[in-house]
Amino acid sequence: MVAFVDEKKTTLTLEMNGVVPFGEPDVFAELGAGTALGKPDIRLGEGGRRLWAQIPILTVLDEQYHDPVLTVTDGVERALTVTPELLLAPPAPPFKLEQLVPGIDKLAWIALVSFLGGLFLNVMPCVLPVLSIKLSSALKAQARGAGAVRIGFLFAAAGVMSFMWFLAAVLYVLQLSGVAVGWGLQFQNPSFLALMFIVLAIFSANLFGLIEFSLPSPLQSRLSNVGGGSGHVADFATGFFGAVLATPCSAPFLGTAVAFALAGRGVDIAIVFTALGAGLALPYLLAALFPGLVSIFPKPGRWMVVLKLLLGGLLLGTALWLLWVLFGVAGPLPTIVNLGLSIGLLAVLIRRPFSPAPRYLAVGVLVVLPLISAQFLMRESLGSQPPQKGQINWVAFDRGGIARLVSQGAVVFVDVTADWCLTCKANKALVLERDPVLSTLNSDIVVAMQADWTRPDDRISRFLVANNRYGIPFNAVYGPNAPNGIVLSEILSPQAVLEALDSAGAGETQNVTLGNDN
C-alpha cells in the first residue's frame, strides 16, 4: 500500500492492490490525536483488484501528527491495518469522473432542472433591482410599434444569454486551471463590485433624467437607414446587467444544476448555463412572442415620470448595497476611493465640462481607476470573518469542530452566508430569526455555526464542494443521528429546519421547540 499527504495536510490519497477483488471496501485512517477526517472517496479499478481512495483532512494538530496508519475493511472477514509507503505525488485514480459520461436522458433532465432554476431566479429576493431594469425596458417599449417591441425584447433576451455563456466560459477556464469556482463568486472580487457600482449609478442617473445616452450622429443615421435603432444597444445592456444582478441569488433547482455543471465536462457546463439563461430570459421571450403584453401598461403620461423616479431609486439603492458589499470585501479605503471617483465620473457625464475628446478621455480614466484601485488598495485577507451580530448566538465556522461537537451529543446548525447573498438575508429574516426556529437555535442543545463567505475562504469553498455545492445559501444540520449532515433547501422554511434539527438530535430539539412554542 502507498499513500500521499499534500503539503498543506488537507488531503490523504492512498492506493492498494489485492489478489482477491474488493467488494465493498471501507478505509479508516489515523494521523494522530485531534485529527478530523471527512468521508473517503473510494474507487475500484482493474476488475476490483485495485483500490484507490482520497480522504479529506478537516483539521490536524501539528504537534500530534504522525505518518498515516491505514485500516482497510471489506466485509466482516477481511481487514488489514498497515503503515503505507509515502509517495512524493498522489497516485492517479483508476478512472476519471469525466469519463463517466451521462446519458441523453440525464442531460435532458438536468437541462429541465436548470431551466426551472433560471425561471425561479425571476421571483427570488434579488428580483427588485432586476425587476426595475425589466420594467424600465417595458416603459421604453411604450413608444414603439409591435415589431420594435419584439426586437427590443429579443435583444434583452440575447443580453441574458450572452452573460450566461460568458460566465460559463470563464468558469470552464477556471475549472481547467484548478481554481475553485462557484455560482456568484464574482461578488467576492472588488474590481467587479466597483464596476457594477459604476454601472448601476449611471443607470440610476439615466432614469432620474440626469444623463441621456445617444450614439454619435453618423452612426444613428446609418442605423436608421437600415431600419435599426440605437435603443437596441440599451435593450441588450438591460438583459445583460439584469442577469449579472441575478447571480448573487440562489433558487430551488439552481444548486443541483450548478453542481452538476461544475463537477462535469465542458459540454455539461454549456448545457446547464444555456438552460439557466433561457429560464431567466423567459419574461423577455414571452414579451417578444406576445408584444401586446406591453399594452397592459396605461397609456404614456405623468405616471411614467413617477415610475421612472421610483425605478431610479431602486437602482440607486442597489448601487449603495454593492458599495456596502465592497466595504466588507475590500475594506474602507477602496470603498471611499471608489465612491469619490464614481462621483467624479457622474459629474463629468452630467455637466460635460470639456470638449468631446478630453471628456471621453476623462470618462475612460474615471471608469478604469476605480477598478484598479479597488484591487490594489484591497486590505490583506483577515482570515475567517467573525460571525455576524444578531439575534442568534453564532459561533465561528470550524469544519473539524463539527465532528467534535457531534461526538459530545450536540446538534450543529451550519449556515454559509455572505453580504452579497440576498437569499441568505431573506432566510435569516423570515425563518432563522423568528420563533420557534430562533429559540431552538439559541437553546443549549444546538450550536449555531456561521461561515461568512463574503470574502474568498478556501476552507468554506472545500466544505461546499465536499457537499456537492458550488453556491450559497447553504444550510446543513449535524447531530448524533446525522453525523454526515442533513442538507436543507436553498429556500428555508420553519418546518424544514425544525424537522432537520429534530432528526439530527434524537428528538431532543423537538421537545425544546414544543416547550417554546407553548
Pick the more confident residue, 94 or 273: 273
pLDDT of residue 227: 36
pLDDT of residue 96: 55
Cβ distance 420 to 325 under 8 Å? Answer: yes
Average pLDDT over residues 76-93: 86
pLDDT of residue 230: 46
| pLDDT more than 90, % of the chain | 15
Q: Provide the grid cell at 236.
A: 441588450
Average pLDDT over residues 236-264: 72
- Across 170-179, 346-355, 370-379, 402-411, least confident range: 170-179
Give the pLDDT band of residue 516 (cuts 50, 70, 90).
Answer: very low
- Across 201-210, 288-297, 368-377, least confident range: 288-297
Across the chain, mean pLDDT equals: 79
Q: Looking at the predicted structure, is the pLDDT value of residue 168 above 50?
A: yes
Name the E strands within 379-419. 394-396, 411-417
- Evaluate the CA torsion angle 251, 253, 254, 255 in order and state its sign: positive
Pick the more confident residue, 488 or 383: 488
CA 448 to chain CA mean position, Å: 22
Q: Which residues have a Cβ under 8 Å from the Cβ of 518 and sit 6 or more positions away?
A: none
Helix (H, G, I), strand (E, B) or coil at 507: coil
Q: Which residues have a Cβ under 8 Å from the Cβ of 170 and sit 6 or more positions away?
A: none
Tell me the pTM: 0.64
Strand partners, 52: 15, 43
Residues 312-371: pLDDT tens digits?
787 788 788 888 888 888 888 888 988 999 898 888 888 888 787 888 888 888 888 888
Kindly write down the DSSP assignment for every residue of 166-216, as one continuous string: HHHHHHHHHHHTT----TTGGGG-HHHHHHHHHHHHHHHHHHTTS------
Give the pLDDT band of residue 215 (cuts 50, 70, 90).
Answer: very low
Q: Which residues have a Cβ under 8 Å from the Cβ of 158 and sit 6 or more positions away?
A: 236, 239
Q: Provide the grid cell at 68.
A: 498515516
Assign residue 227 a region: left if phi > 0, alpha if psi is -120 to 50, beta otherwise? left
Residue 473: asked if its preceding bond is cis (omega within 30°), the reply is yes
Q: Looking at the predicted structure, is the pLDDT value of residue 501 above 90?
A: yes
CA atoms within 13 Å, Cβ hemisphere of 373: 19
Residue 436: asked if its preceding bond is cis (omega within 30°), the reply is yes
Strand partners, 413: 448, 477
